[in-house]
Amino acid sequence: SNDASPAGGGGEAGAAPTASADCPLASAADPGNSAPPTGVPMATAAPKLPVKDTYTVAFSQNASNNPWRLAETASMREEAEERGHQLTVTDANNEQAKQIQDIKGLIAQKPDALFIAPITEQLGNVVVEAAAAGIPVFLLDRDVDNTVAKPGEQFVTVIVSDFVQQGKRAAWAMAKATGGNAKIIELEGTTGSSPAIDRKKGFDEAITQCPGLEVVVSQSADFTRAEGQSVTETLLQSHPDATAIYAHNDEMALGAIAAVRAAGKVPGSDIQVVSIDGSRDALTAVDAGELFATVESNPRFGPRAFDTMEQYAREGQVPVQLVLEDRLFDKANAAQNIATAY
């Protein structure tokens, strides 16, 4: 599955159809990233980290079965390399049980610090075990159940992605693309995954402002291109009146675009497509005018993660929640970002 996070930036919406009066979104500006959380407590009770110039650190990644995850891992590796830290990476191959096993294995090796990209919010117990073993834990891109593992105590901080906000921005882009009038097919991510749940939540919430925006059917397509294509083919046939598609990630959107073409319609004019991630292929599609916009879900956690770690070592405290900033790519800024996209 995929992920991302909040804060400013974002290009200007491209040439939008005339905004329909009863859809504030269509005329509003990009909501951007959610305001940085204010009054976040500082992590104080978590295991301390001595000041050294290099550390042995471990990173438990939950899967390597999609570009986003690979980009996240790569960013961690590069940054560790950069700063001369010795990094151990494990990969849970998308199995919760295995990630728990991995983490326990890592704990047994007593690294200076432990980074975890939790597969679900349900890894509280192992995080607690890590804390018990005196290892400071930093969570990446997803939180764990805070009733089990207390932020600032059992783990230092979580650098989150704000999936809900991404959904809201996608809704905004959708409004721009369609002038606030659209019958939308929603392609959900893997059933039960938090990005799928939150990106749906954010989007559905936002479009309530616009009676003209209606989700006519919503189906899971497992975050994959092939599924995105076949599901869309089927839905286009049973919902011929659909005029737009909102996909929870770029891969599904790219599949959907192919399906739209196959159905003899023109993506970008007959049917508007909006998605989330900001992958290279997606930006290319945006530039080609087939994809209206894609909300970035920044996978580059490396710099922020290690900054935070080193800061924690120096100052003994950091906010228990941090957010990564996402951009929004549309016709205006897609081209110049293709080269740097993952």
Residues in region 98-157 near other proteins by CB under 8 A: 98, 100-102, 104-110, 119-126, 133, 145, 147-148
Are the C-beta atoms of residues 305 and 115 closer than 8 Å to each other? yes
Among 13, 63, 164, 174, binds other proteins (CB under 8 A): 63
Are the C-beta atoms of residues 4 and 277 closer than 8 Å to each other? yes
Judged by CB, which is closer to other proteins: 18, or 238? 238
Closest-CA residue to 189 (of 209, 170, 176, 174)? 170
Among 20, 64, 316, 337, binds other proteins (CB under 8 A): 64
Are the C-beta atoms of residues 76 and 89 closer than 8 Å to each other? yes
Residues 16-55 that bind other proteins (CB under 8 A): none
Among 20, 27, 96, 337, binds other proteins (CB under 8 A): 96
Verify binding: residue 3, other proteins, rule CB under 8 A: no
Residue 61 tokens, joined: 């990644």
Could you tell me the smallest distance in angstroms from the CB atom of residue 225 to other proteins? 5
Judged by CB, which is closer to other proteins: 191, or 336? 191
Closest-CA residue to 174 (of 143, 132, 208)? 208
Residues 198-237 that bind other proteins (CB under 8 A): 217-220, 222, 224-227, 229-231, 233-235, 237
Residues 261-290 that bind other proteins (CB under 8 A): 262-264, 281
Could you tell me the smallest distance in angstroms from the CB atom of residue 128 to other proteins? 9
Could you tell me the smallest distance in angstroms from the CB atom of residue 327 to other proteins? 22
Among 16, 65, 153, 300, binds other proteins (CB under 8 A): 65
Report how far residue 134's alpha carbon sits from residue 154's, in angstroms, rounded to the nearest whole number. Answer: 9
Q: Which residues fall within 8 angstroms of residue 213, CB to CB, at 6 or more apart?
A: 23, 25, 171, 174, 175, 178, 180, 181, 182, 184, 207
Residues 236-255 that bind other proteins (CB under 8 A): 237-240, 251, 254-255
CB atoms within 10 A of CB 78: 13
Are the C-beta atoms of residues 134 and 114 closer than 8 Å to each other? no
Could you tell me the smallest distance in angstroms from the CB atom of residue 235 to other proteins? 7
Verify binding: residue 338, other proteins, rule CB under 8 A: no
Report how far residue 225's alpha carbon sits from residue 257's, in angstroms, rounded to the nearest whole number. Answer: 10
Among 32, 47, 67, 180, binds other proteins (CB under 8 A): 67
